[in-house]
Chain A
Amino acid sequence: MTGWSQHTGLAVALDRENVDTDQLIPARFMSTPRSEGYGDFLLYDLRTDNNGNPIADFPLNSTPDASILISRRNFGSGSSREAAVYALVDFGIRAVVAPSFGDIFASNAVNNGLLPARVPEAEVDAAISQLSAGPVEVSINLTDRTMRVGDSVLDFTLDDVWQQKLINGWDDIDLTQHHKAAIAEFRTQYVKDTPWAIPVQQTNFRSAGRDTGSQ
């Protein structure tokens, strides 16, 4: 994942509360390998009619090069399916702006370089009415956590950890490798202190107290 700290692009509004993960990507598309791209699946049942034809005035259809989505409370609620984030990212979305996000969605987003920017309800209201006439160019600055929408500059909320992760494009597995020794030490003590926490029957567990030597 590559980091980023500034982005300017077209913003569109998805004027709905509770845009859940099942809407972001319906389950039937999830057996597709990621390499094929998930962008076409984004909000599929809202973007297409019953025959699978695009609904022309749906914001993401009328502005297919939009990269910022402004929506309402509880965006990304529901399942842990990271495919919801893949659909947004593969479509070209870099940031979602909303008053609140589903917890798992938000962390999945950050893990894929997608910014979940929290902005108070009233300011989302104002931004959505600005967008009612059509897409607007928005500039996002991750470093000072602001975005410029038309003439107004909005502050958004983003945890420090997530801010750093997005800017640096950190990969957690790489970070964790630096703590290998601490993990190994913890494990040894833990296995000794809580032998009951090791599932019985598991013959492939390396354990100091109950070593099976299979690894």
Chain B
Amino acid sequence: MTGRRLLDKLWDAHEILRRDDGTSLLWVDRHLVHEGSHHAFAKIAERGVPVAEPGLTFGVADHYAPTRGGPATKAIARMIATLEENTRTHGIKCFGLDDPRQGIVHVIGPEQGITLPGLLINCGDSHTSTHGAFGALAFGIGATEVAHVLATQTIWQTKPKAMRINVTGQLGPGVTAKDLALAWIAKLGADGGRGHAIEYTGAAVRALSMEGRMTLCNLSIEGGARFGMVAPDETTFAYLKDRPFAPRGADWDRAIETWSDLPSDGNATFDTEVTLDAAEIAPIVTWGTTPEDALPVTATVPDPSKMSGNTAERARNALEYMGLTPGRALTDIAVDQVFIGSCTNARIEDLRAAAAVLSGRRAKVPGLVSPGSRQVKAQAEAEGLDRIFVDAGLDWVGSGCSMCVAMNGDHVEPGKRCASTTNRNFRGRQGRGARTHLMSPAMVAAAAVTGHLTDVRDLLNGRKVA
């Protein structure tokens, strides 16, 4: 008999029933809502149904949260007020703008211990895959599905195929989970994980901190996978112990027992298997308009004339939008500004990594540093990281999605080029005409210091790599 995979164990534990057509009705342990959930609240209001399980639902203001002063426009203020109103009406705990626990939904879930191994977690945001880092079945859903979860605390899903990405060896100094994620997406494509749940395994994944694992799982959706996960282990348990919403006492002991059974059985097989050698991964930057357009920073801008068909056409379009010349060294690309933030890379470890590069140096370009949550902000300030950013000439601002999605008013001007720790370099993602290069926090810090894309390893000499 073949062994069961983490995916199977999580799926089975939540399956209420399975229809003849193969679709499962699954129990949802945690439902996270944000300002964008207004469509879903409107849908249940229309039908006049209540929220089934307010105790399993949490709200947070993040997508439209101002990072400086108050909301930038009336429409933005209304989005935040609507969330607060909807959560109040339905008795849902909401981490609003004046709550010290406020932050980006995928940062605060784990931080508060709302996210746990073995749970099924939904949120109307595609980066919900982040929570899979704890060995949870976590996936993003659309507004109709959000309304369904609100009304029933369940979701219909067809079980995805299982993919294993096994990363052997050890990441080099200055190479991070972000580089690892961009490396596999570049290799398999932005739809390489489509229809799959990815389980990340191997020594390099085990060696990652929870922050690193979250970054890795977060980016699963950029490779097309709705689910990304890492089996829980001691690192997971140590991170969660004593978090505010995590189990205590006997419940904690029982939980650990259950969680310890979650890892895939040794003889489990996967529909798709991919192996990467961590030692071969260099710091990576994107050059185009999808996360698959990623290359080691030591490479040159690709040349469409050496490609064929649709690929060439797409590269040509991307380079035109990005304002780049084929054949130039990536490190020659000058940036106008930097952004350190988002649910991908704004946790404490990310800020430490950026600060390690910026310490005692000045940024040549302006930039924003937006911690992933108020708690991360407080922690960073306690460690003096804010001084390092401010002394380098960067703005230290409040927490929220900010320039990741440019909904709160923070944006990149048309034609400007931004080195960014975020997750999407799509056209217009950071503002109309904005040119985004994705990379790790340390790499963004390096770009800030030199004013162009830079191999951070050259700036690490004699420094402690955070």
Contacts and interface: CB of A to CB of B under 8 A. Distances in A.
Contact of A186 (B27, B39, B114, B124): B27
Interface in B94-152: 113-114, 116, 118-119, 124-126, 128, 140-145, 147-148, 151-152
Contacts, number: 196
Contacts of B366: none
A85 B145 CA distance: 13
B247 interface: yes
A161 B22 contact: yes
A171 to B, nearest CB: 9
Interface in B1-43: 13, 16-17, 21-23, 25, 27, 29-30, 36, 39, 42
A111 B148 CA distance: 11
B254 interface: yes
A22 B144 contact: no
A26 B424 CA distance: 13
Interface residues of A, number: 62
B281 interface: no
A195 B253 CA distance: 11
B290 A20 contact: yes
B202 interface: no
Interface string A100-140: 10111001100110000000000000000000000000000
Contacts of A196: 116, 247, 251-252, 254-255, 258
- Which bracket fits the contact residues of B? 35 or more
Contacts of B140: 79-80, 104
A139 to B, nearest CB: 26
B406 interface: yes
Contacts of A198: 55-56
B258 A161 contact: no
A194 B152 CA distance: 19
Would you call the interface of chain A mostly helix, strand, loop, or mixed? loop
A56 interface: no
B364 interface: no
Contacts of A152: none
Contact of B158 (A50, A83, A159, A177): A159
A204 B151 CA distance: 16
Interface in A198-214: 198-206
Given A27-B405, A111-B145, A164-B21, A78 B29 contact: no
A17 interface: yes
B79 interface: yes
B247 A200 contact: yes
A47 B30 CA distance: 39
B141 A104 contact: yes
Contacts of B91: 204
A204 B154 contact: no
Given A17-B310, A78-B426, A80-B142, A199 B226 contact: no
B429 interface: yes
Interface in A137-153: none
Contacts of B245: 199-202
Nearest to B429: A22
A194 B79 CA distance: 36
Interface of B: 13, 16-17, 21-23, 25, 27, 29-30, 36, 39, 42, 47, 49, 53-56, 64, 75-76, 78-79, 91, 93, 113-114, 116, 118-119, 124-126, 128, 140-145, 147-148, 151-154, 156, 158, 189-191, 194-195, 221, 224-226, 244-248, 251-252, 254-255, 258, 289-290, 310, 314, 317, 405-407, 414, 424, 426-429, 432-433
11 contacts: A22-B427, A78-B221, A80-B140, A80-B141, A102-B194, A104-B140, A176-B152, A177-B152, A179-B16, A202-B93, A204-B55
Given A77-B290, A80-B142, A176-B156, 18 more contacts: A17-B314, A20-B426, A22-B424, A23-B428, A78-B126, A79-B424, A107-B142, A112-B144, A161-B23, A161-B158, A183-B154, A194-B118, A195-B251, A196-B252, A196-B255, A196-B258, A199-B30, A199-B114
Interface of A: 16-18, 20, 22-23, 26-28, 30-32, 34, 45, 50, 72-74, 77-83, 85, 100, 102-104, 107-108, 111-112, 159-161, 164, 172-173, 175-177, 179, 182-183, 186-187, 190, 194-206
